[in-house]
Amino acid sequence: MIRVGLVDDQPLVRMGLATLIATEDGLELVGEAADGREGLALIRRTTPDVVLCDIRMPVLDGLALLAEVNGDAALDGVRIVMLTTFELDEYVFEALRHGASGFLLKDAEPTALLDGIRVVAAGGSLLAPSVTRTVIERFSGSSATARPHPRLEDLTEREREILGWVATGRSNQEIADALVVSPETVRTHVSRAMVKLHARDRAQLVVFAIESGLRADR
């Protein structure tokens, strides 16, 4: 059973998501909150596996809530997926930078949202390629000076190459097709890079790669 928390200041959004989650086998809605402060209290009280959290909220916004959760060792197992209305929400990249396990558009298909919850609960990250690539293009060139991750040198040449491909928002299958290798080979290199860079999920790998100036198409 995957335990899910819901934090959003729009009652209709909460109602729709809560109904969807509550009626799905294998998911349990542990609680709802209407702002970030209430959401943080809910998370500390129930420690859900996955939290769907609006980026823009009163009292305490999604980024501040995310920072609080990531700074609390007792909540290390909580994964947060940010909800946004627009693909180019200015807070999306910052959310990934601060440890979000991905993001979803509020008008996503119900099946995509439910699948996303399961992916994140299983330790994956929710990075829809169409949205991710747009965010990457917008923010990867915003800094003239790259800040290489301190453990980047621990990666093998192949792992660095794969990391550059991950930064383009491509899936393991797409990377495998481009490099003419098996998806399992790509998955292995991605997993090793995550361990070496102490990344909690693929979303953080994307951030590390962008900030380090790694891009397969550059």
2-47 pLDDT per residue, tens = 999 999 999 999 999 999 999 999 999 999 999 999 999 999 999 9
Residues 6 or more apart whose CB falls under 8 angstroms from that of 99 comprise 66, 69, 70, 80, 200, 204
Q: For residue 133, give the DSSP letter.
A: H
Q: Mind listing the pLDDT tens digit for each residue in 77-123?
A: 899 998 887 655 567 777 877 788 888 888 888 988 898 899 888 87
CA gap 99, 66 in Å, rounded: 7
Tell me the pTM.
0.73
Helices 11-22 and 110-121: crossing angle, nearest 10°?
70
